[in-house]
Amino acid sequence: MAKYQIQTSRLAHHLFCLRSHYVLSMLPKLCLRTKHEFAGNLFELGKYATTSIPIRPKLLIKISDVMAHDDCIENGQYNNQSNSIPSDPDEDCDVSKACKKFPSIKLGSSPPVELFDGSACHSDIASFLAAKSSKNFYLNSTCEECVQDEDRTLPSLYPALPDVGNSSVSEEYTLTTGSSLLPMNIETGTISSNPAVEGDSSKKKSTSENTAVSGRSFLDQSVGCISGLSKRHQRQLDDSGFHTLGKLLHHFPRTYADLRNPQVHIDDGQYIIFVGKVLSSRGIRASYSFSFLEVVVCCEIAERESNSGCTVDDNTGGKKIIYLHLKKFFRGNRFTFTPFLRRLGEKHKEGEVVCVSGKVRTMQSEDHYEMREYNIDVLQDEKDVPLYAKERPYPIYPSKRGSSPTFLRDIIARGIDALPINVDPIPEDITQGFGLLRLRDAYNGIHRPKSIKEADLARKRFMFDEFFYLQLARLFQMLERLGTRIEKDCLLDKYRQPHLNAAYMKDWACLTQKFLKALPYSLTVSQMKAIAEIIWDLKRPIPMNRLLQGDVGCGKTVVAFLACMEVIGTGYQAAFMVPTELLAIQHYEHLLGLLENMEGVENKPSVALLTGSTSSKQSRMIREGLQSGEISLVIGTQSLISEKVEFSALRIAVVDEQHRFGVVQRGKFGSKLFNNSISSKIAAEHSDGTSSGDFSMAPHVLAMSATPIPRTLALALYGEMSLTHITDLPPGRVPVKTYSILGNDEGFEKVYEMMLDELDKGGKVYLVYPVIEQSDQLPQLHAASEGLQSISYRFQGYNCGLLHGKMKKDEKEEALRRFRNGDIQILLSTQVIEVGVDVPDASMMVVMNAERFGIAQLHQLRGRVGRGMKKSRCILVASTTSSLSRLKVLENSSDGFHLAEVDLLLRGPGDLLGRKQSGHLPEFPIARLEVDGNILEDAHLAALKILSISDDLEQFPALKMELSMRQPLCLLGD
């Protein structure tokens, strides 16, 4: 005994000297070195390791003290962090237990323990606690004991680090004044977020503290506004692109893990939700610059019969206890101070009932699981237990430039807690009216949903926002351009009640009515409706911006011609722009033919054709004619928007196949009139007077789309345009019978047979190829040039022609003319014929390598046949069996809009629209046009509703601010 006393006093002396010495600070570091013998030797611990005398606990306290670990004491003192010696002398301190619990120190001969894995000692602690407690410890959803959290002063969240052994483990929090931390969520003190538990208190805080802060400006604050965030983390978030709180909160989960209540079998890596009791909570210093928090939760799970055939253990009464080790790591010597660690450990109280969710990792000891990625919610009320025991979605975040998902999850949760209630710029009646969550709830719902339904609702809100601000911006910009109140009302009315905006035929210009009469057919109902809408627009004092849509061959061209007649009839000019020369010539000839039929018109409109191939002399004459006003209508390609072309009084610009042009190109027509306001004055003098006075008005734009675009897509692309649909086809049209055939030898034989049959009956056949010439890279593709030889050989007695984009204009014209007048019966072509080619008696189309084309594109190609009264067929030759099923959809439907929807779903908007047009499609980070279209419609209505109340948004300052803060809208295609 005396020997031990001497040894102890020597040790105390050592310690005393060391406290003020540099070695003291180095000691923990040294202890971490291999086998930690230095520390052992220093204190001569080996000599005491195997002894069991009352003095040893004291010794351990001293060591603990020196090494800044308060909790190096066994059982009784384990959780209360008292440094007193166990009162019960029988309760012996076992050194090996201390070693297990404290694996960074090797004491005596105790075996090394896996770093940070205190599983063994925690099971001891659990049994100790269980023995100590007179009450039974029920951990399932019927848990009766709920310990109130009385003293919570620590930060709400401590980001966990992905890998302890990883050198990238980083420091976590800034210690502010003294050792106290300034947490964001000081009231709740829970480690993680829980809307139900924390929401109210943080709401209270938000309202009280932040009512003066405008929502937007709050979201635009730097992430540094999340208090308690270290400078280093701020920098890290900044480097990851999270410059503002808003950006951080918009880092949405990539998916949600389906959290299940655990059954007897728990897999490694499974996401599970548990309700249990806190056994211990410790802040542990592991080295001079590394510490961690370990909360051990004990859960009772139902031990049902498992799939593997395991039977229920009678002794446990169908229950099984498991232990969860929740760990968060801290790097940086600031986080190793005893007060910090003590307070860290105090975050959770022994016996506290908590709900833990996250990913489990199995540990070496049976029934022990580690969780480094978790949420923990303290259950304040027993009634909460069933609520938490339910399955819940657990957000899984994508990492971003060095910021781990776990880190982001925790920081985001803290960011949400900081949000004020009034953060939403959209007025409440709008969100209520459209069944949307308020913004703060939406952030909560997407980041910490209680159910998938809640996450869905939250997602809906963010999708709505994406669409809403786009629509609002477009409409707002349009209104801003208008000068007077009447103009603005006029425009809004157009959107609010599109069905009311139609001009009666009696109000049409005389020329228009005569042109209509001269048509060789009567217009269909929707053609009439479309032209009435357009003429109504033409009479308005604001420039029309309308998109005319319709299925292939529905007769859009004639509607556009009528619109041109209307402005010409009132003394103005019209321009008709098409994407290809072929189409320009076709329209020009078509129009001349129709004008020829017109009777009783003294001065028929003069029409010119202007393309890139027009000779310079002729171009100059046409330009002069347009400038003087002699030419009333010009049909042409892009050359129409060249700066050299000036109009006397351009009143309408028709843009056919508008998706082939950028918005900027379309918009160039707008400048035509402004540049020529003086000459338009002269033109106005010759007009019938109805339009005088609006000299500086930009021309009306009528855009036509040959490819039917689903309405939602059209709204997204052209939200600022009025939409007109032609919904029916001219009478007598017989739907084209479509076949999809596999392109093997047998298949081709069948195709050739059908072609021969068609030709023998006097029909004309298009053969469409994906490429002009065969290439080594894609030998499987059939090519038009190579096909000419073999097809001519196969169909001797019939003439074959070739048409593709690389041919000269004259050659193309010639080929098409010969096909039209019947000199050629088989036209081998590329997809150059897809757009607008109109040969009414062409009765068959064969598309080679049909899988290379999109559904909408094939429908468009198919539209080149069946344009007359003749029964027509379309054969889609597929290279593979797998592609046949996709092509079958064309066999079953001839409705272009339906097929466009299918294509949208199958390929997404980018592919449906093609590269050029999809380049104009705004980006929607979470919304998907193909499936979320109905929300877009809502957003459009909501934007109109807002602007109807306040067209300059003055009544909605928060909204106006939000709009201005969002990416400023540039002209699409710029």
Ligand X SMILES: Nc1ncnc2c1ncn2[C@@H]1O[C@H](COP(=O)(O)OP(=O)(O)OP(=O)(O)O)[C@@H](O)[C@H]1O
| In the block, residue with structure tokens 């692109």 | 241
Asked if residue 728 lies in contact with residue 720, where contact means CB atoms within 8 angstroms, the answer is no
- Token digits of residue 86: 């166990």
To the nearest whole angstrom, how small is the minimum distance from the Cβ of residue 552 to ligand X? 4
| Residue count, binding to ligand X (CB under 6 A) | 19
Q: Cα dist. 967→347, 439, 495, 910 in Å?
A: 42, 19, 25, 21
Which of residues 521, 525, 675, 735 is near ligand X by CB under 6 A?
521
Does position 862 interact with ligand X (CB under 6 A)? The reply is no
Judged by beta carbon, residue 494 or residue 556, the one nearer ligand X is: 556
Closer residue to ligand X in complex, CB, 642/727: 727
Q: C-alpha angle 508/510/514, rounded to 5°?
A: 105
Q: How many angstroms separate the CA atoms of 704 and 550, rounded?
A: 8
Shortest spacing between CB 799 and ligand X, in angstroms: 23
Asked if residue 290 lies in contact with residue 155, where contact means CB atoms within 8 angstroms, the answer is no
Shortest distance in whole angstroms from residue 574 CB to ligand X: 16
Q: Is 866 in the site for ligand X (CB under 6 A)?
A: no
Q: What is the DSSP letter of 969?
A: P
Pick the piece of the chain touching ligand X (CB under 6 A) from 19-27, 152-160, 375-383, 556-564: 556-564
Using CB under 6 A as the binding rule, the residues of this chain from 908 to 937 that contact ligand X are none
**Paired sense of beta strands 319-331 and 290-302, if any:** antiparallel
b (16+ CB within 10 A) / e for 123-156? bbbbebbeeeeeeebebbbebeebbeeeebebbb
By CB under 6 A, tell whether 557 contacts ligand X: yes
Q: For ligand X, which stretch binds (CB under 6 A), given 78-86, 224-232, 348-356, 516-524?
A: 516-524
Is residue 550 part of the contact set for ligand X (CB under 6 A)?
Answer: yes
Q: What is the x/- site pattern for ligand X, positions 136-165, by CB under 6 A? A: ------------------------------
Of 449 and 836, the one with the shorter C-beta distance to ligand X is 836
Please report how close the Cβ of residue 587 comes to ligand X at its closest, in angstroms: 9
Cα dihedral angle (812, 813, 819, 821), rounded to 10 degrees? Answer: -170
Instruction: Please return the burial class of 615, using the count of CB atoms within 10 Å of its CB with bins 0-12, 13-18 and 19+.
Output: exposed
16 binds ligand X (CB under 6 A): no
Report which of 805, 561, 558, 545 is spatially closest to residue 701, judged by C-alpha positions. Answer: 545
State whether residue 925 is helix, strand or coil: coil
Ranges within 661-720 binding ligand X (CB under 6 A): 706
Smallest gap from Cβ 586 to ligand X, in A, equals: 8
User: Residue 132 in 3-state DSSP?
Assistant: helix
Q: How far is the CB of 903 from ligand X (least distance, A)?
A: 16
Stretch that binds ligand X, among 16-24, 333-341, 552-560, 715-723 (CB under 6 A): 552-560
- If binding is defined by CB under 6 A, does position 863 make contact with ligand X? yes
CB of 890: closest distance to ligand X in angstroms? 16
Minimum gap (Å) between residue 730 Cβ and ligand X: 3
Binding mask 804-843 for ligand X (x = CB under 6 A): --------------------------------x-x-x---
- Nearer Cβ to ligand X (623/859): 859
Cβ-based neighbour number of residue 951 at 10 Å: 19
| HEC-encoded secondary structure of 781-850 | CCEHHHHHHHHHHHCCCCCEEEECCCCCHHHHHHHHHHHHHCCCCEEEECHHHHCCCCCCCEEEEEECCH
Burial class (CB in 10 A: 0-12, 13-18, 19+), 864: buried
* CA quadruple 940, 946, 952, 957: dihedral sign: negative
Query: Of 68, 554, 900, 935, which one interacts with ligand X (CB under 6 A)?
Result: 554
Distance in angstroms between the alpha carbons of the first and the last residue of the chain: 91
DSSP letter string, 679-694: HHHHHHHHS-STTTT-
Which of helix, strand or coil describes residue 553? coil
The one among 233, 859, 867, 920 contacting ligand X by CB under 6 A? 867
Per-residue mark of binding to ligand X, 727-756 (x: CB under 6 A): ---x--------------------------
Residues in Cβ contact with 685 at an 8 Å cutoff, skipping those fewer than 6 apart: none
Q: How far is the CB of 548 from ligand X (least distance, A)?
A: 9
Q: Which is nearer to ligand X, 651 or 820 (CB)?
A: 820
CA-based nearest residue to 502, from 525, 526, 529: 529
929/937 Cα distance (integer angstroms): 11
* Structure token digits, residue 573: 């000019």
- Near ligand X by CB under 6 A, which window of 210-218, 274-282, 546-554, 749-757? 546-554
Give the shortest CB-768-to-ligand X separation in angstroms.
15
Instruction: Find the binding residues for ligand X in span 558-577 (CB under 6 A).
Output: 558
* Backbone CA torsion sign across 950, 952, 953, 955: negative
Q: How far is the CB of 430 from ligand X (least distance, A)?
A: 38
Which of 6-14, 400-408, 531-539, 545-553 is the region at the interface with ligand X (rule: CB under 6 A)?
545-553
- Minimum CB–partner distance for residue 743 and ligand X (Å): 26
User: Which amino acid, one-letter code, is at 336?
Assistant: T
Q: Which window, 451-459, 550-558, 677-685, 787-795, contacts ligand X (CB under 6 A)?
A: 550-558
Rounded to a whole number of angstroms, the minimum distance from the CB of residue 769 to ligand X is: 20
Backbone angles phi, psi at 951, to 5 degrees: -70, -20
- CB-nearer residue toward ligand X: 276 or 854: 854
User: Between residues 154 and 706, which has the closer beta carbon with respect to ligand X?
Assistant: 706
**CA–CA gap between residue 239 and residue 219 (Å, rounded):** 18
Residue whose CB is nearest to ligand X in the complex, by number: 555
Piece of 26-34, 554-562, 599-607, 735-743 that binds ligand X (CB under 6 A): 554-562
The stretch among 63-71, 134-142, 215-223, 517-525 that binds ligand X (CB under 6 A) is: 517-525
Helix, strand, coil percent values for the chain (each to nearest 5): 45, 15, 40
> Binder to ligand X among 216, 494, 556, 960 (CB under 6 A)?
556
Closer residue to ligand X in complex, CB, 393/579? 579
List the structure tokens of 644: 């050299």
User: In the complex with ligand X, which residue's Cβ is closer, 550 or 569?
Assistant: 550
Residues in CB range of 554: below 8 A, 6 or more apart: 524, 526, 527, 726, 728, 729, 730
Q: Considering only residues 378, 552, 824, 847, which one is a binding residue for ligand X as defined by CB under 6 A?
A: 552
Return the structure tokens found at 477. Answer: 């910009």
318: left (phi over 0), alpha (psi -120 to 50) or beta: left
Min dist CB 247 to ligand X, Å, is 44
Q: How far apart are CA 304 and CA 680, in angstroms?
A: 87
Contacts of 523 (CB under 8 A, 6+ apart): 516, 531, 555, 558, 559
Q: Give the interface segment with ligand X, choosing from 12-20, 74-82, 522-530, 538-546 (CB under 6 A).
A: 522-530
Q: Which is nearer to ligand X, 280 or 658 (CB)?
A: 658
Q: Looking at residue 173, what DSSP letter applies?
A: B
> Exactly one of 555, 605, 636, 662 binds ligand X (CB under 6 A); which one?
555
Q: Which amino acid is at 522?
A: S
> Nearest distance from residue 246's CB to ligand X, in Å?
44
In the complex with ligand X, the residue whose CB is nearer, 684 or 701, is 701
Closer CB to ligand X, residue 295 or residue 713? 713
Q: How far is the CB of 573 from ligand X (least distance, A)?
A: 22
Please state the closest distance from residue 819 (CB atom) to ligand X, in A. 15
Instruction: Enumerate binding residues for ligand X (CB under 6 A).
Output: 521, 523-524, 527, 550, 552-558, 706, 730, 836, 838, 840, 863, 867
